[in-house]
Structure 1
C-alpha cells in the first residue's frame, strides 16, 4: 500500500468515525437542549468542529480528484460522486440549518430535519470508507 493510499484510508476512516459521532451523539442531543443552552453550545460546537471537518473534507476531495486523474475507474467515479454529493448536502442543506440555529431562527422541525438530512452524509461516508477499505484489500 502506497503512502497515498494510507492517507486516503486515514481520511476516510477519520470522517466515518466523526460523522457517526455527530449523527448519534451530537445532533441527536440538540432537541434536548433548552433554547438558551443550545445557542451557547452551538456557537462553540460549530467553530470547533469546523477546525476538524474542513481539513478532512478538503483532503478527501483532493485525493479523490487525484485518483480520478490517475485512474478513471468506475470505483473511483463512485467514490468521487459520493464525495461531491456530501459537499452538496453539507453546503446547501446542513450549513443553512446551522446558520439558522446560530441566528436563533430554528424550530424543532429544523433540528429534526438536520438529523434526517445528516443520515445521507452518514451513509455516504460509510460507503466511501467501506469501498476505500475494500480497494486496499484487493
Structure 2
C-alpha cells in the first residue's frame, strides 16, 4: 500500500506541475520570478525528494524480497531509475538555468515540454502498480 500511495502521490504531483505550475512560470512578473522560483524549487524538493527516496527503497526491497515478481519489480526499478536520471540530467540543470537567468521564457518552455517525460514515467509507474494489483 505504501508503494501505491507514494507512486500515486508523485503522479498527481507531476500532473499538477505539468498542467499548472510550469506553464505558469511564463506569467510571473520578471521582477519577482527569481525569488519565487527559488522558494518553489526549495519547497518542492522537501515534498518530492522523500517520496522519490521511498520509491528507490521500495524498488530495491521488492527486487530482493519478492523474487517471484521479478519482471514486475525490474520494470518498476527501471521506471524509477529513469525518473531519477531525467530529474538530475534534465530538470535540475533547467531549474539551475532559471536561477541564473530568471524569467527566461525559452527555458520555461523547455521545462514544460521536456517534463512530459516525467509525466509519462510516473503515470507508467502507477499503471504498472494497478496492473500488478489486478494480476495478483
Give SS of 2:101's match. Answer: coil
Moved more, 128-137 or 56-65: 128-137
Equivalent of residue 27 in structure 1, options 22, 27, 39: 22
Residue of structure 2 equivalent to 1:3: none
- Structure 1 vs Structure 2 CA RMSD: 1.4
TM value normalised by structure 2: 0.91
Equivalent of residue 15 in structure 1, options 10, 18, 21: 10
Deviation at 1:106, TM superposition (A): 6.1
In structure 2, what is the Cα distance between the partners aligned to 1:96 and 1:105?
A: 13
Residue of structure 1 equivalent to 2:40: 45
Is 2:118 aligned against 1:124? Answer: no
- Per-residue displacement from partner, 1:108-131 (whole Å, max 9, x unpaired)? 221111111110000110010111
In structure 1, what is the Cα distance between the partners aligned to 2:103 and 2:85?
A: 21
Deviation at 1:34, TM superposition (A): 2.4
Deviation at 1:84, TM superposition (A): 0.5
Contact 1:97/1:114, CA 8 A, preserved across alignment: yes
Give SS of 1:128's match. Answer: helix
Residue of structure 1 equivalent to 2:50: 55
Residue of structure 2 equivalent to 1:77: 74
In structure 2, what is the Cα distance between the partners aligned to 1:53 and 1:65?
A: 19
Moved more, 106-115 or 16-25: 106-115
TM value normalised by structure 1: 0.90
User: Quick one: structure 1 residues 34 and 106, their matched pair in 2 at CA, closer, same or farther if it must change by over 3 Å?
Assistant: closer
Contact 2:4/2:126, CA 8 A, preserved across alignment: yes
Which residues of structure 2 form unaligned runs of 5+?
A: none
In structure 1, what is the Cα distance between the partners aligned to 2:23 and 2:103?
A: 15
